Copies of this chain bind each other. A is one copy, B any other.
Amino acid sequence: MISIDEARGRILEGLSPTGAETVALAEAQGRILAADITARVSNPPADVSAMDGYALLAADTGPREVIGEAPAGHPFPGQVGAGQAVRLFTGSFVPDGADSIAIQEDCTRLGTTLTVNESPRPGQHIRRKGQDFAAGDVMITAGARLSPRHIGLIAASNTPWVAVRRRPEVAILATGDEIALPGDPIPQGGIVSSNAHALAALVRACGGAPLILPIAADNRNAIATAALSARRCDLLVTTGGASVGDHDLVASALAEQGMVLDFWKIAMRPGKPLMHGRLGDLPLLGLPGNPVSAYLCAVLFLKPAIEKLLGLPGHAPTPVAARVTADLPENDLRFDHLRCRLQTAEDGTLEAIPAARQDSSMMRTLAISDGVILRPPFAKALSAGAKVNVLRLDFMGL
Protein backbone atom coordinates (compact mmCIF):
# COMPACT_ATOMS: atom_id res chain seq x y z
CA MET A 1 0.00 0.00 0.00
CA ILE A 2 1.29 3.45 -0.89
CA SER A 3 0.36 6.79 0.60
CA ILE A 4 -2.33 9.12 -0.71
CA ASP A 5 0.25 11.75 -1.64
CA GLU A 6 2.37 9.29 -3.59
CA ALA A 7 -0.67 7.96 -5.41
CA ARG A 8 -1.81 11.45 -6.34
CA GLY A 9 1.67 12.35 -7.52
CA ARG A 10 1.80 9.30 -9.79
CA ILE A 11 -1.64 10.02 -11.24
CA LEU A 12 -0.85 13.68 -11.94
CA GLU A 13 2.53 12.87 -13.47
CA GLY A 14 0.84 11.14 -16.40
CA LEU A 15 -1.55 13.96 -17.27
CA SER A 16 -1.02 16.92 -19.63
CA PRO A 17 -3.22 19.99 -20.07
CA THR A 18 -5.90 19.91 -22.74
CA GLY A 19 -5.59 22.28 -25.69
CA ALA A 20 -7.20 25.70 -25.84
CA GLU A 21 -10.49 26.61 -27.47
CA THR A 22 -11.97 30.01 -28.21
CA VAL A 23 -15.30 30.79 -26.57
CA ALA A 24 -17.49 33.87 -26.49
CA LEU A 25 -16.87 35.94 -23.38
CA ALA A 26 -20.51 35.43 -22.37
CA GLU A 27 -19.84 31.67 -22.13
CA ALA A 28 -16.51 31.86 -20.37
CA GLN A 29 -17.59 32.00 -16.73
CA GLY A 30 -15.92 29.29 -14.63
CA ARG A 31 -13.59 28.29 -17.45
CA ILE A 32 -9.80 28.23 -17.10
CA LEU A 33 -8.02 30.97 -19.04
CA ALA A 34 -5.49 29.51 -21.51
CA ALA A 35 -3.73 32.76 -22.50
CA ASP A 36 -3.15 36.09 -20.79
CA ILE A 37 -5.71 38.84 -21.32
CA THR A 38 -4.09 42.11 -22.40
CA ALA A 39 -6.06 45.36 -22.27
CA ARG A 40 -6.89 46.75 -25.73
CA VAL A 41 -8.13 50.05 -24.33
CA SER A 42 -7.36 52.19 -21.31
CA ASN A 43 -9.81 52.72 -18.47
CA PRO A 44 -10.84 55.45 -18.20
CA PRO A 45 -10.13 56.09 -21.90
CA ALA A 46 -9.49 59.78 -21.13
CA ASP A 47 -9.56 62.08 -18.11
CA VAL A 48 -13.15 61.85 -16.88
CA SER A 49 -15.28 63.42 -14.21
CA ALA A 50 -15.74 61.43 -11.02
CA MET A 51 -18.87 63.40 -10.08
CA ASP A 52 -21.86 65.25 -11.43
CA GLY A 53 -20.74 68.90 -11.57
CA TYR A 54 -18.91 71.48 -13.66
CA ALA A 55 -15.54 71.43 -15.41
CA LEU A 56 -13.66 74.67 -14.88
CA LEU A 57 -10.35 76.24 -13.89
CA ALA A 58 -9.59 75.95 -10.20
CA ALA A 59 -7.66 79.22 -10.11
CA ASP A 60 -10.65 81.26 -11.38
CA THR A 61 -12.54 83.41 -8.96
CA GLY A 62 -16.01 84.88 -9.25
CA PRO A 63 -18.96 83.51 -11.22
CA ARG A 64 -18.47 81.40 -14.38
CA GLU A 65 -20.48 81.28 -17.54
CA VAL A 66 -21.82 77.82 -18.37
CA ILE A 67 -20.92 77.44 -22.06
CA GLY A 68 -22.28 73.96 -22.65
CA GLU A 69 -22.82 70.49 -21.30
CA ALA A 70 -21.21 67.14 -21.98
CA PRO A 71 -23.17 64.09 -20.86
CA ALA A 72 -21.26 60.81 -20.79
CA GLY A 73 -20.73 59.78 -24.39
CA HIS A 74 -21.04 63.31 -25.74
CA PRO A 75 -17.70 65.07 -25.21
CA PHE A 76 -17.70 68.87 -25.29
CA PRO A 77 -16.11 69.87 -28.59
CA GLY A 78 -14.68 73.19 -27.46
CA GLN A 79 -12.24 74.61 -24.97
CA VAL A 80 -12.93 75.82 -21.43
CA GLY A 81 -11.32 79.20 -20.77
CA ALA A 82 -11.02 81.52 -17.80
CA GLY A 83 -14.42 82.39 -16.37
CA GLN A 84 -16.12 79.49 -18.15
CA ALA A 85 -17.59 76.17 -17.07
CA VAL A 86 -19.09 73.09 -18.76
CA ARG A 87 -21.79 70.96 -17.16
CA LEU A 88 -20.53 67.36 -16.73
CA PHE A 89 -21.79 64.09 -15.30
CA THR A 90 -20.03 61.14 -13.76
CA GLY A 91 -17.96 59.58 -16.52
CA SER A 92 -18.05 62.62 -18.85
CA PHE A 93 -14.76 63.37 -20.60
CA VAL A 94 -13.15 66.46 -19.09
CA PRO A 95 -13.05 69.15 -21.83
CA ASP A 96 -9.79 70.70 -22.94
CA GLY A 97 -8.72 73.62 -20.82
CA ALA A 98 -10.53 72.61 -17.63
CA ASP A 99 -8.37 71.40 -14.76
CA SER A 100 -10.89 70.41 -12.08
CA ILE A 101 -14.53 69.60 -11.34
CA ALA A 102 -16.75 71.54 -8.97
CA ILE A 103 -19.39 69.15 -7.68
CA GLN A 104 -22.95 70.27 -8.24
CA GLU A 105 -23.81 70.37 -4.52
CA ASP A 106 -21.12 73.06 -4.13
CA CYS A 107 -22.51 75.29 -6.91
CA THR A 108 -25.45 77.64 -7.41
CA ARG A 109 -26.66 78.05 -10.98
CA LEU A 110 -28.92 80.78 -12.30
CA GLY A 111 -29.48 80.48 -16.05
CA THR A 112 -25.97 80.26 -17.48
CA THR A 113 -24.34 81.89 -14.49
CA LEU A 114 -22.59 79.57 -12.07
CA THR A 115 -21.48 80.54 -8.59
CA VAL A 116 -19.00 78.12 -7.06
CA ASN A 117 -19.45 78.11 -3.29
CA GLU A 118 -16.57 75.75 -2.60
CA SER A 119 -13.72 75.83 -5.10
CA PRO A 120 -12.10 72.52 -6.10
CA ARG A 121 -8.36 71.99 -5.90
CA PRO A 122 -6.63 71.65 -9.29
CA GLY A 123 -7.21 68.11 -10.50
CA GLN A 124 -9.95 67.43 -7.99
CA HIS A 125 -12.74 64.97 -8.93
CA ILE A 126 -10.94 63.99 -12.13
CA ARG A 127 -10.19 60.35 -12.84
CA ARG A 128 -7.07 60.27 -14.95
CA LYS A 129 -6.83 58.32 -18.22
CA GLY A 130 -5.64 54.79 -17.53
CA GLN A 131 -6.04 55.13 -13.76
CA ASP A 132 -7.66 51.69 -13.60
CA PHE A 133 -5.68 50.08 -16.44
CA ALA A 134 -3.82 51.12 -19.58
CA ALA A 135 -3.90 49.57 -23.05
CA GLY A 136 -1.22 46.90 -23.16
CA ASP A 137 -1.46 46.00 -19.47
CA VAL A 138 -1.70 42.28 -18.73
CA MET A 139 -5.05 42.08 -16.98
CA ILE A 140 -5.49 38.42 -16.08
CA THR A 141 -2.91 35.69 -16.49
CA ALA A 142 -3.42 32.25 -17.98
CA GLY A 143 -4.60 29.70 -15.45
CA ALA A 144 -7.21 31.90 -13.78
CA ARG A 145 -10.63 30.39 -13.22
CA LEU A 146 -12.86 33.10 -14.64
CA SER A 147 -15.22 34.63 -12.06
CA PRO A 148 -18.00 37.09 -12.93
CA ARG A 149 -15.57 39.85 -11.88
CA HIS A 150 -12.98 38.57 -14.35
CA ILE A 151 -15.64 38.49 -17.06
CA GLY A 152 -16.44 42.13 -16.34
CA LEU A 153 -12.78 43.11 -16.49
CA ILE A 154 -12.23 41.23 -19.75
CA ALA A 155 -15.26 42.98 -21.26
CA ALA A 156 -13.95 46.36 -20.11
CA SER A 157 -10.60 45.57 -21.73
CA ASN A 158 -12.51 45.24 -25.03
CA THR A 159 -12.07 41.51 -25.53
CA PRO A 160 -15.09 39.66 -26.93
CA TRP A 161 -13.46 36.21 -27.26
CA VAL A 162 -11.25 34.33 -24.87
CA ALA A 163 -9.01 31.28 -25.12
CA VAL A 164 -9.83 28.76 -22.43
CA ARG A 165 -8.76 25.19 -21.77
CA ARG A 166 -10.98 22.65 -23.48
CA ARG A 167 -13.06 20.87 -20.83
CA PRO A 168 -11.35 17.55 -20.11
CA GLU A 169 -13.52 14.71 -21.34
CA VAL A 170 -13.79 12.12 -18.61
CA ALA A 171 -15.38 8.79 -19.54
CA ILE A 172 -17.07 7.01 -16.65
CA LEU A 173 -17.51 3.26 -16.75
CA ALA A 174 -19.49 1.53 -14.00
CA THR A 175 -19.06 -2.22 -14.05
CA GLY A 176 -20.93 -5.08 -12.46
CA ASP A 177 -23.55 -7.72 -13.20
CA GLU A 178 -25.51 -6.55 -10.20
CA ILE A 179 -26.07 -2.90 -11.08
CA ALA A 180 -28.81 -1.12 -13.02
CA LEU A 181 -29.23 2.56 -13.81
CA PRO A 182 -32.01 4.36 -11.91
CA GLY A 183 -35.42 3.55 -13.37
CA ASP A 184 -34.17 0.51 -15.30
CA PRO A 185 -35.29 -2.97 -14.23
CA ILE A 186 -33.19 -4.17 -11.30
CA PRO A 187 -31.84 -7.70 -11.85
CA GLN A 188 -32.46 -10.40 -9.25
CA GLY A 189 -30.00 -9.72 -6.44
CA GLY A 190 -29.06 -6.41 -8.01
CA ILE A 191 -28.80 -2.84 -6.83
CA VAL A 192 -29.30 0.59 -8.38
CA SER A 193 -26.07 2.10 -9.62
CA SER A 194 -25.26 5.56 -8.35
CA ASN A 195 -21.57 5.93 -9.10
CA ALA A 196 -21.83 7.00 -12.72
CA HIS A 197 -24.24 9.85 -11.97
CA ALA A 198 -22.45 11.01 -8.83
CA LEU A 199 -19.09 11.02 -10.61
CA ALA A 200 -20.50 12.74 -13.69
CA ALA A 201 -21.82 15.51 -11.45
CA LEU A 202 -18.44 15.74 -9.71
CA VAL A 203 -16.64 15.91 -13.06
CA ARG A 204 -18.91 18.76 -14.12
CA ALA A 205 -18.44 20.58 -10.82
CA CYS A 206 -14.67 20.35 -11.35
CA GLY A 207 -14.86 21.81 -14.87
CA GLY A 208 -14.72 18.59 -16.89
CA ALA A 209 -17.15 17.11 -19.41
CA PRO A 210 -18.42 13.69 -18.32
CA LEU A 211 -19.22 10.88 -20.73
CA ILE A 212 -21.28 8.19 -19.02
CA LEU A 213 -20.62 4.86 -20.72
CA PRO A 214 -23.25 2.12 -20.61
CA ILE A 215 -22.79 -0.21 -17.66
CA ALA A 216 -20.45 -3.09 -18.46
CA ALA A 217 -21.36 -6.54 -17.22
CA ASP A 218 -18.78 -8.60 -15.38
CA ASN A 219 -17.08 -10.13 -18.39
CA ARG A 220 -13.87 -9.24 -20.16
CA ASN A 221 -15.46 -8.52 -23.55
CA ALA A 222 -18.01 -6.07 -22.21
CA ILE A 223 -15.40 -4.21 -20.18
CA ALA A 224 -12.88 -4.08 -23.01
CA THR A 225 -15.47 -2.87 -25.54
CA ALA A 226 -16.67 -0.11 -23.26
CA ALA A 227 -13.17 1.01 -22.34
CA LEU A 228 -12.00 1.10 -25.95
CA SER A 229 -14.91 3.36 -26.86
CA ALA A 230 -13.40 5.93 -24.48
CA ARG A 231 -10.08 6.10 -26.34
CA ARG A 232 -10.62 9.67 -27.56
CA CYS A 233 -11.24 10.92 -24.01
CA ASP A 234 -8.73 12.58 -21.73
CA LEU A 235 -9.29 10.15 -18.87
CA LEU A 236 -11.16 6.93 -18.23
CA VAL A 237 -12.60 6.39 -14.77
CA THR A 238 -13.92 2.95 -13.86
CA THR A 239 -15.80 1.98 -10.74
CA GLY A 240 -15.81 -1.50 -9.30
CA GLY A 241 -13.54 -4.31 -10.26
CA ALA A 242 -10.43 -2.79 -8.69
CA SER A 243 -10.39 -4.89 -5.54
CA VAL A 244 -8.84 -8.27 -4.93
CA GLY A 245 -12.00 -10.41 -5.09
CA ASP A 246 -12.33 -13.26 -7.55
CA HIS A 247 -14.84 -11.29 -9.57
CA ASP A 248 -12.77 -8.17 -10.11
CA LEU A 249 -12.27 -8.26 -13.81
CA VAL A 250 -11.48 -4.72 -14.91
CA ALA A 251 -7.73 -5.00 -14.50
CA SER A 252 -7.48 -8.32 -16.31
CA ALA A 253 -9.88 -7.27 -19.09
CA LEU A 254 -7.89 -4.12 -19.78
CA ALA A 255 -4.53 -5.86 -19.45
CA GLU A 256 -5.61 -8.02 -22.40
CA GLN A 257 -6.09 -4.77 -24.34
CA GLY A 258 -2.56 -3.66 -23.60
CA MET A 259 -3.09 -1.56 -20.51
CA VAL A 260 0.14 -0.74 -18.70
CA LEU A 261 -0.98 -1.28 -15.15
CA ASP A 262 0.40 0.66 -12.22
CA PHE A 263 -1.75 -1.24 -9.75
CA TRP A 264 -1.86 -0.35 -6.13
CA LYS A 265 -3.76 -0.32 -2.98
CA ILE A 266 -3.78 2.96 -1.17
CA ALA A 267 -3.34 3.23 2.57
CA MET A 268 -6.64 5.01 3.06
CA ARG A 269 -10.14 4.39 4.39
CA PRO A 270 -12.64 4.29 2.88
CA GLY A 271 -11.27 3.38 -0.50
CA LYS A 272 -8.34 0.98 -0.33
CA PRO A 273 -8.58 -0.46 -3.83
CA LEU A 274 -7.51 2.10 -6.41
CA MET A 275 -6.11 1.29 -9.82
CA HIS A 276 -4.00 3.46 -12.04
CA GLY A 277 -2.77 2.67 -15.52
CA ARG A 278 -2.67 3.69 -19.13
CA LEU A 279 -4.38 2.14 -22.13
CA GLY A 280 -2.36 3.46 -25.06
CA ASP A 281 -2.60 7.25 -24.67
CA LEU A 282 -5.59 7.03 -22.35
CA PRO A 283 -4.89 7.46 -18.64
CA LEU A 284 -7.05 5.26 -16.46
CA LEU A 285 -8.21 5.68 -12.89
CA GLY A 286 -9.98 2.70 -11.33
CA LEU A 287 -12.12 3.66 -8.36
CA PRO A 288 -13.70 1.28 -5.85
CA GLY A 289 -17.26 0.09 -6.51
CA ASN A 290 -18.52 1.21 -3.12
CA PRO A 291 -20.20 4.58 -3.71
CA VAL A 292 -18.85 6.30 -0.60
CA SER A 293 -15.32 5.07 -1.32
CA ALA A 294 -15.60 5.98 -4.99
CA TYR A 295 -16.75 9.48 -4.12
CA LEU A 296 -14.02 10.14 -1.59
CA CYS A 297 -11.37 8.78 -3.95
CA ALA A 298 -12.80 11.11 -6.61
CA VAL A 299 -12.43 14.12 -4.28
CA LEU A 300 -8.85 13.15 -3.46
CA PHE A 301 -7.65 11.97 -6.89
CA LEU A 302 -10.11 12.74 -9.70
CA LYS A 303 -10.57 16.41 -8.77
CA PRO A 304 -6.81 17.14 -8.86
CA ALA A 305 -6.55 15.05 -12.05
CA ILE A 306 -9.15 17.22 -13.78
CA GLU A 307 -7.36 20.32 -12.49
CA LYS A 308 -4.10 19.05 -13.97
CA LEU A 309 -5.88 18.43 -17.28
CA LEU A 310 -7.10 22.04 -17.05
CA GLY A 311 -3.51 23.25 -16.77
CA LEU A 312 -3.74 23.89 -13.01
CA PRO A 313 -1.32 22.52 -10.43
CA GLY A 314 -3.73 19.84 -9.15
CA HIS A 315 -2.96 20.23 -5.47
CA ALA A 316 -4.48 18.16 -2.73
CA PRO A 317 -7.65 19.81 -1.44
CA THR A 318 -6.80 22.31 1.32
CA PRO A 319 -8.18 21.46 4.77
CA VAL A 320 -9.47 23.94 7.35
CA ALA A 321 -9.14 23.71 11.14
CA ALA A 322 -12.13 22.70 13.24
CA ARG A 323 -12.92 21.51 16.75
CA VAL A 324 -14.18 17.96 16.96
CA THR A 325 -17.28 17.43 19.14
CA ALA A 326 -16.70 13.75 20.03
CA ASP A 327 -13.82 11.55 21.13
CA LEU A 328 -11.93 9.92 18.27
CA PRO A 329 -10.07 6.59 18.61
CA GLU A 330 -6.47 6.27 17.55
CA ASN A 331 -6.02 5.46 13.88
CA ASP A 332 -4.28 2.51 12.24
CA LEU A 333 -1.98 2.58 9.20
CA ARG A 334 -4.69 3.73 6.76
CA PHE A 335 -5.42 7.44 6.31
CA ASP A 336 -9.01 7.78 7.52
CA HIS A 337 -11.72 10.19 6.37
CA LEU A 338 -14.53 10.60 8.87
CA ARG A 339 -17.74 12.05 7.48
CA CYS A 340 -18.93 14.96 9.59
CA ARG A 341 -21.39 17.81 9.76
CA LEU A 342 -20.11 21.31 10.45
CA GLN A 343 -21.53 24.08 12.58
CA THR A 344 -20.24 27.36 13.93
CA ALA A 345 -20.06 27.48 17.72
CA GLU A 346 -21.09 30.54 19.72
CA ASP A 347 -17.45 31.60 20.01
CA GLY A 348 -17.20 31.55 16.21
CA THR A 349 -15.17 28.34 16.02
CA LEU A 350 -15.99 25.80 13.34
CA GLU A 351 -17.14 22.55 14.94
CA ALA A 352 -16.99 19.13 13.28
CA ILE A 353 -19.59 16.60 14.40
CA PRO A 354 -18.51 13.14 13.23
CA ALA A 355 -21.28 10.87 11.93
CA ALA A 356 -22.06 8.19 14.52
CA ARG A 357 -21.72 5.48 11.89
CA GLN A 358 -18.72 5.69 9.57
CA ASP A 359 -19.57 2.51 7.62
CA SER A 360 -18.58 3.16 4.02
CA SER A 361 -21.91 1.80 2.75
CA MET A 362 -23.83 4.74 4.24
CA MET A 363 -24.58 6.95 1.24
CA ARG A 364 -27.16 8.95 3.11
CA THR A 365 -24.58 9.89 5.73
CA LEU A 366 -22.26 11.07 3.00
CA ALA A 367 -24.99 13.10 1.32
CA ILE A 368 -25.72 15.09 4.47
CA SER A 369 -22.06 15.51 5.48
CA ASP A 370 -20.49 18.93 5.04
CA GLY A 371 -16.96 17.60 5.18
CA VAL A 372 -14.57 14.84 6.18
CA ILE A 373 -12.25 14.89 9.18
CA LEU A 374 -8.73 13.91 8.15
CA ARG A 375 -7.13 11.24 10.34
CA PRO A 376 -3.55 10.55 9.20
CA PRO A 377 -1.98 7.11 9.67
CA PHE A 378 -1.38 6.31 13.34
CA ALA A 379 -3.04 9.55 14.50
CA LYS A 380 -3.39 9.53 18.27
CA ALA A 381 -6.75 9.26 20.03
CA LEU A 382 -8.38 12.65 20.53
CA SER A 383 -10.82 13.93 23.12
CA ALA A 384 -13.87 16.00 22.25
CA GLY A 385 -12.76 19.61 21.83
CA ALA A 386 -9.45 18.77 20.14
CA LYS A 387 -8.43 20.44 16.89
CA VAL A 388 -8.79 18.47 13.66
CA ASN A 389 -8.33 19.21 9.96
CA VAL A 390 -11.41 19.03 7.78
CA LEU A 391 -11.94 18.96 4.02
CA ARG A 392 -15.00 21.13 3.34
CA LEU A 393 -17.00 19.29 0.70
CA ASP A 394 -19.57 22.09 0.86
CA PHE A 395 -17.05 24.79 -0.04
CA MET A 396 -15.62 22.64 -2.81
CA GLY A 397 -19.14 22.38 -4.26
CA LEU A 398 -18.75 18.61 -4.25
Q: A residues touching B (Cβ–Cβ < 8 Å)? A: 25-26, 28-30, 41, 43-46, 50, 52, 69-75, 87, 89-91, 93, 127, 131-133, 139-140, 146-161, 176-179, 181-183, 186-202, 204-205, 212, 218, 243-247, 289-291, 295, 321, 348, 359, 361-367, 369, 393-395, 397-398
Contacts and interface: CB of A to CB of B under 8 A. Distances in A.
Given A74-B177, A156-B191, 15 more contacts: A26-B197, A41-B191, A43-B191, A45-B186, A52-B245, A73-B187, A147-B397, A148-B202, A148-B295, A149-B198, A152-B198, A153-B364, A156-B192, A156-B363, A158-B186
Contacts of A147: 201, 205, 367, 393-394, 397-398
Contact of A91 (B131, B158, B191, B198): B191
Contacts of A195: 152
A156 B194 contact: yes
Nearest to A318: B344
- Of A152, A179, A183, A364, which is in contact with the most chain B CB atoms at under 10 Å from its CB? A152
24 contacts: A28-B201, A30-B397, A41-B192, A43-B361, A45-B190, A45-B191, A71-B245, A73-B176, A87-B246, A90-B245, A90-B289, A131-B362, A132-B364, A133-B363, A139-B364, A149-B366, A151-B194, A152-B201, A153-B366, A155-B196, A155-B198, A157-B182, A158-B186, A160-B182
A54 to B, nearest CB: 13
